[in-house]
Structure 1
Amino acid sequence: MTVEVRQQAKTPLWRNAMVLKWAAQIFVLLAATGLLVVLATTALDNFEKSDISFGFGWLADPTGVLIREGIDTAPNSGARALLVGIVNTFRVGISGIIVATILGTLIGIGRLTANWIINKIATVYIEIIRNIPLLVQIFFWSALGLSFPLLTPDDVGTYWFKASNKGFAFAWIFPDGGFWPWMVFVVTGILAGRWIAARRKKHQEETGQAGHSVRFFIGTVALFAVVGWFAWPVLGFLQPVFEAIESAVDSMPAIIIPIVIALAAIVASGAWIRNFFESRRTPAGFGKMTDDDWFRVIFAGISGIV
């Protein structure tokens, strides 16, 4: 018995799959490289004809532009302007992540809560804002903003509200000569309100009837604030003291006041949360919380932090 071994014919190069794959890739690479060379050469020629410099020299050249906000609003070089842009990008990105996380948490809790008003507000927000593509919203809000009248120098003045293509302007409070005397009335109202609220809370514990301590506190503060708005001149004899306070506040670094306000907001929200937990505590020492209660607690905590 003989076995005949036949040698398989060698595949031609133009039919070899491996060769064809490599040839196709090399051809595409050469074509792309050639296209880039042509585009770069054309661009350089056009830059030269238009007297436009090409390179990284702009990093050291003065920009001559102003940036609205950032670590440097008047950069003296392109590199400095680039750094300002990078920092602003990080600021917007980080703040956007924080705000989106807080808003998403609140909206998610609100969407699941049994409170009808909060549930419907969260539902409307989700259906209108979240479920509409971002590009559509960009076009819509841009068109809406451009529909407002232009802001001209003639519009500068005093008004309660002004809408323009630059945004919305509202009246704001600026400390004046009567601010600190008025603050005396406000602080007095806060102290009086706390005393009245404590009395109402004690009355509720003794009788079991609703004390409405929060309403009495807010009403007392509002009453003192309104009275102080008109009666602050009676404290004119303390004007030297108020001037000293105003001078001390003006001499403080600008960051001090926001820090103090932030700490006060955190302390106030923490105190409210603690009192709220105490109000929900059962005689056995356990707390019974509903989803609405958790929403209030989370909202108070996030509001204090923000």
Structure 2
Amino acid sequence: MGRTRKGRDISGWVIVDKPAGLTSTAVVNKIRWAFDAKKAGHAGTLDPEATGLLAVALGEATKTIPYITDATKAYEFTVNFGAATNTDDAEGEVIKTSDLRPDDAQIVEALQEFLGEIMQVPPQFSAVKIDGQRAYKLARAGEEMQIAARPLWVEELLLSDRPSADQAVLEMTCGKGGYVRSIARDLGEVLGCYGHVAQLRRLWSGPFDLEHAVSLEQIEPFAKTSEIDQFLRPLEEGLTDLLQGTTNAEGAAKLRNGNPAICFTAAEYGDEIWVSHEGKAQAIGRYKSGEIHPTRVILQE
């Protein structure tokens, strides 16, 4: 028999303003411990030195993680000009340098090349898998890899500040799978001066933004107490980008067993939707002829 996981059956989202110096996994572990939750995960990794919004899912909310991971996100980041590093950020070893520095007009013009559907090569130090191994592990071993470019949708990329000739602050809104470090690296190449990320902060992700985020320092005094649930946001908030429907008590019972159920919605045939009963999410699935056919069943107390 498998080991029973200890902890509370608690479901919902904790929106954390991640500090620099911690991995996303370390933040998840701290939240899981503080809430005494059986299950936890996060919706989109931030590099250890990056800060900002990290959406942590507890319990049944982990079933909705893909809908936040796939959502549009926004970042603010600082690019240092004049040096390329092997990690494409300030933590790495400098591998190329230049005395050239772009002016504001050159930066704004170059940014146009990174809008819309672009092809982006992830950093050598990234979690991309190469022949079954993580790229960063191969890079640490000194191996050079050819990482295939992958598509990325960039909705907006703006120059927001210019602290000095050596730095530019940019804001980017993009789709799933974007590497800000790659944007900084490639922008430096286009400008002919090289570049890397000096600071990175995620501003929002899907329905979640920093306005509703809490710090680990705010959470820690309430760890393992009943008062900690004040930081828990409803599971349903992670589904706001999907069409919604409702069902009745009989339908909710059917959905709990994974069966199709009656659904009241404005969705069209084949649409992916989520269905609630008495305000609680019951399932995610496809709408077909007055019913939801569940692909993910959500079991909330």
TM-score by length of 2: 0.20
Looking at both structures, which has the greater relative contact order when contacts are Cα pairs under 8 Å and sequence separation is at least 6? 2
Q: Looking at CA atoms only, which structure, 1 or 2, has the larger radius of gyration?
A: 1
TM-score by length of 1: 0.20
* Higher relative strand content: 2
* Higher relative helix content: 1
